[in-house]
Amino acid sequence: MGLERSRRLLVLYGSQTGTAQDAADRVGREAVRRGCPSVDVLSVDEFDARLLPSEDVVIFVVSTTGQGDMPDSMKEFWKFLLQKNISDQWLEHVHYAVFGLGDSAYQKYNFAAKKLDRRLLNIGGKPLVQKGLGDDQHRSGYEGAFDLWLSSLWNALHEKDPMLLPRSIDNLDASTQCLDSPKFEVIFHSINEMVATGTSTLSDLNCAKNLIGKVRSMSLGKSHYKRPQYLLQLITNQQLIKSDADADVRHLEFESSSSDLRYQVGDVLEVLPAQDPDAVEAFIRRANLDPDCYITVRPKVIGKHHDSSADMSTPPVKLRTFVELAMDVASASPRRYFFEVMSFFASAEHEKEKLQYFASPEGRDDLFQYNQKERRTVLEVLEDFPSVQLPFEWLVQLAPPLRTRAFSISSSPLAHPDQVHLTVKALTWTTPFKRKRSGLCSNWLAGVVPRKGVPIPAWIHGGCLAAPPPSEPLILVGPGTGCAPFRGFVEERAAQKAEGAAVAPILFFFGCRNQEKDFLYRDFWVSHAQDGGVLAAGSGGGFFAAFSRDQVHKVYVQHKMKEERKRVWRLLSGGAAVYIAGSSAKMPADVVTALEEIVAEEAGLDSEAAGRWLRRQRAGGIFIEAWS
C-alpha cells in the first residue's frame, strides 16, 4: 500500500462527557505496565483518519450520545469512514478492538460502538476480540464489562505480537503496582515573584474565555475548543410551576453583550456552572495549598503516552481561579484510578488497604456503591481518607474537569435576536444511603439573580433536533421539560408567519402530572392555539395536553395521540416530521407504538405493514427522537 507500518498500540477515544477518555487512559496505562514499548492515547479528532491503514493495532473506546450518535469529537472521523470510495480491503492490515460506553435503559444502546465495529469489519479490519459493551445499568457501571473485555484484549494482543505486548497475564493489583508519573507539572509562583518579574496574569474574565477552552480541548478533543464562546448575562429567572410542587422548573433568559449570538431552533446551549465558593475553599485547605499563589499548569510529555497539545494555563493564573474554573471538586465523582493513586500517598495503613481494595478487581462493586452510586465528590473522598496528601499535580490530573451542562434551547432567534432562553429543572435526588444530592448547574442557575454577577460562559452547538423548514408539517411530542425545544419551534413558526411566510400546521402533544401544578408554559401554548395561531385546530394543527395524575387512570401523551388519531394521520400521511423529546427512556418507544397503531387503523394495514410504513418514514429522515 506504500505506507510504512506503525509499530505502536494506538488508542483512540470518542468522548462526550469524559468517561470514554478515562477508559482509554486506563487501556494506555495497563498496556505500558504490561511492557508495551509504544502507546499513544488520543481523542479521535486528534488523529488523521487517512492514516488509519498505516496502523498495526488500534483500540477504539467510544461513547454513544443523543439518538445512537457518535460523540461530537468523532463525527468528522465517522463521516470519513462512511465514504463510498473506501474499499472493503482498506484496513486489511489493521487489527482493531472496540469498546462502547452506553446505557441499556435507552433504545439505541451503544449504537455508536456497534456501528463503528461493523464499519471497521466491512472495510477490511481484523477484530482482535469481540466488541465490548459497557452498561451504566450494571451494578458496577461500565467497568463490569470493561474488566473482562480488557483481559481478553491483553491475551489476544500478546498472542498476536509478544513484542508489542510482552506480558498478557500480569498481577496488576494495587499492592504490586508502581506509581505512574503524573501527566501534568505545576509551577508555583509567589505573588512577590509575579511582581518582581512583571509577569502578566489572566483576569478571571479572561480565564473564563481562555482557560476553559483549553481545559475542554484537552479533555474532550479539539472540536469542542473550536466552537465560539459567548459570555451571557441572565436577565430573567422565572419559576414555572407552583412552589408546593415536587420539582423546581425555571424559565431562564440570557442576553449577549454583543450582537454575535448565532443559533437555530433545536440547538443546544452548553453552560459552564459556578462552583460553591465554600466547597472550593474547603478543597484548597484540604489539599494544603495557598489559594492566592499563581500557577502554571502544563502537560508532561512522557515517551509517547498521551501527548497533549496545549498548556492548560498560560500565562500564570491564581490557584483559586484555576480550581474554580477547571476542577470539579464538589459535584462529580472521581474515577477508579483516583483511588489507586491515593493508595500510594496514604500514611495510615488501614486507609491504604481500603484504597488498594477499592482499586482492585475484587473491590470494583463496593467502589461503585461507595463512589458512583453515592455521587461522592473529590472533596468528600479526600475527607474520608485524611492521611492522604496528594500532590497538586495529581489532583489536577485526577479531579474530574469542570464540565459544561447542555440544555435544549427553548427560544427562536427570529423572535429574540440577541437572547437565548432555557427551560431548566433543578435536579435533586436521594442516594441509596439517603444522602441528598443536587445537580450542580441546574441548582446554581435556579439561584442566579437576574442582571447581577459575572457573565456566564456558554457555547452553542447543534442538537439532535434539526430546524424544520416552515413548509413542513410537524407532529411534536414533548412531556415535561421535553417541551423546551418545541417552544422554540412554535416561536419560530409564529415569527415566520408574521413576516408573511406560508407555514405548515403543528400538532403538539404535551404531558405533565397535574394541570394546576406543573403545566409548563400554559399561557404560551394556549395563545398559539387560538384562531390564527400556528397551533390552531382550524389551520390543521392543535395543542393537546395529557395530565397523568389528575384522574384515577394515568393519561400520557400516547393516549392523547390515539384520541386525535385522525389529525395525526392527516399530517403524517402528508409528510409531517415527527419530533419526540423528553426525559423518559420509555416514552419514545410508547409513542412509536401509538403511531404504529394509528397508521394501522387509519390506513387499513395490519400491524406488521404499519410498522414497515413507519420505519420507511424514519429511514427517510423525517422522524427524530431526542432526550432533553
Q: 112 a known binding residue?
A: no
Q: Tell me: is residue 221 an annotated ligand-binding position.
A: no
Confirm whether residue 405 is marked as ligand binding: yes
41 is in an annotated binding site: no
182 preceded by a cis bond (ω within 30 of 0): no
- CA gap 363, 381 in Å, rounded: 16
Cβ–Cβ under 8 Å, residues 186 and 396: yes
Answer yes or no: is 219 a known binding residue: no
**120 marked ligand binding residue:** no
Q: Is 471 annotated as a binding residue?
A: no
Dihedral of CA 506/511/512/513: which sign? positive
440 is in an annotated binding site: yes
Q: Is residue 20 marked as binding?
A: yes
Q: Is 518 labelled a binding residue?
A: no
Residue 375 in marked binding region:
yes
To the question of whether residue 442 is assigned a binding role by annotation, the answer is yes
Residue 64, annotated as binding a ligand: yes
State the Cα–Cα distance between residues 517 and 87, nearest whole angstrom. 59
Mapping DSSP to helix (H, G, I), strand (E, B) and coil, where does residue 474 land?
strand
C-alpha cell at 313: 494555563
The answer to whether 11 is a known ligand-binding residue is no
130 assigned ligand-binding residue: no
Q: Is 66 annotated as a binding residue?
A: yes
Residues 6+ apart with CB under 8 A from 218: 299, 308, 309, 310, 312
Q: Tell the residue number behind the cell numbers 388519531, with chain if given.
A: 565
199-203-204 Cα angle (round to 5): 145
201 in a known ligand binding site: no
Residue 119 annotated as lining a ligand binding site = no
Annotated ligand binding at 227? The verdict is: no
Q: Is 313 annotated as contributing to ligand binding?
A: no
Q: Is 468 exposed, middle or buried (0-12, 13-18, 19+ CB in 10 A)?
A: buried
Contact (CB, 8 A) for 568 and 617 = no
Q: Is 481 annotated as belonging to a binding site? A: yes
* Residue 144 annotated in ligand binding: no
347 is known to lie in a ligand binding site? no
Task: Give the C-alpha distances (Å, rounded to integers) separating 480 from 139, 323, 349, 412, 486.
Answer: 29, 35, 50, 19, 11
Q: Is 434 annotated as a binding residue?
A: no
Confirm whether residue 423 is marked as ligand binding: no
548 has binding-site annotation: yes
Quickly list DSSP for 246-264. SS-EEEEEEEESSS-----
Chain centroid to Cα 14, Å, comes to: 11
Cα 87 to Cα 624: distance, rounded to the nearest angstrom: 31
C-alpha cell at 527: 395563545
17 is in an annotated binding site: yes
Whether residue 181 is annotated as binding a ligand: the answer is no
Binding-site residues for FAD, in ranges, read 375, 405-408, 439-442, 627
Binding-site residues for NADP(+), in ranges, read 481, 548-549, 554-558, 590
Binding-site residues for FMN, in ranges, read 15-20, 63-66, 136
Binding-site residues, in ranges, read 15-20, 63-66, 136, 375, 405-408, 439-442, 481, 548-549, 554-558, 590, 627
